[in-house]
Amino acid sequence: MNINGMNMNERGAERKAEGRAHPLLRRSPRRLGSRKRGFTLIEILMAVALTGLIASLALAPVVYAVRQVVETEAAYSDETALRRTAVFMAQDAAAGLRLASVVLRVVDHKQLGGGDDDTLIIAGAAAAKQNLAAGSVVYKIVRRSIMNDSIPGLYRWLLPGILPEDADYDGLEEKDGQLVAPYVTELQLSVLEPPEWVEDYSGALPQGIKIALSRKKERKPGEFPSESNFESNEAERVEYVFGFPQ
C-alpha cells in the first residue's frame, strides 16, 4: 500500500531505524533488586537501646562525682552549723551579767538511753536588748514525742525577770523558744573549775566551758536508706572548749 509515496514496509523500517538511533527514547527494562530497603522496627529499637547504654556508661562517672560533691558539702554544712551553735552559746555565756549571784548554771542530766541531755542557764542581758527585763537565757533539747510534733533539736528561751537559780527549765514549752539547731540529739556541758572539769555547776562565770553537740540525720518521708543517710547508727558529734577572761 502506497501512502504519500511510501508504503507501510518502508515506514516500519524507518521507525525501527529511529528507535535504534535514539536509545533514550526506549523504555528500559526494570532491574530486579534496584529498590532501596529501609530499617525494620527491631533494628531501630536495638539502635536506640545501644545509644542509651553508651550514654549511661559515659555519664556514670560524672553523676558519681556530682553526688560526692553534694554529700561533702552537706557534711561540711552540718559540722559548720553545729560549730556556729556552740560559738553562739559561748557568746551568750561571755555576755553574762557578772554582778549576778549566779552567772552560769549547768544542770547535768542523762537520757533513758544513756545520752547526755544537759541544760545551760545564763544570767544575761539578752532580754534587755529586746526591751525586756534582764533575766535568764536557757538552752535545752526538745525531743519529739506523741504529745509533741514540733521539730526536735536545741532550743533557746529568754526568761525576762527570772534568775538562773529560779528558772524552771523543765516547764518550758518549745512554742515559747527559738529553734537554734534542728535534730540535735545530745548536749553535754562541762565547766572548768581548776584543776578539773565538773558537769554540775552554779556560780560565777567560770574560766572555761566545754560544749559538745551530737546530731543524727533523719531520713525524709519516703526516702530509702543509702550510704549517705543510713550508713550507721553513730551520730555526728562536735566538741569545743571556750575560755573566759576573768
Average pLDDT over the chain, rounded to an integer: 76
**Cα–Cα distance between 148 and 156 in angstroms, integer?**
17
**Cα–Cα distance between 108 and 129 in angstroms, integer?**
29
Please, what sign has the CA dihedral across residues 174, 90, 168, 143?
Answer: positive
Share of the chain above pLDDT 90, in %: 34
pLDDT at 93 (0 to 100): 93
Tell whether the model's pLDDT for residue 140 goes beyond 90.
yes
SS3 235: coil
Give the CA radius of gyration of the chain: 43
Q: Where are the domains of the chain?
A: 72-220+231-243
Each residue's pLDDT tens digit, 153-204: 999 999 988 999 999 998 898 889 999 998 899 999 999 999 999 999 999 9
Quickly count: other Cβ atoms within 10 Å of residue 143's Cβ.
12
Model pTM? 0.64
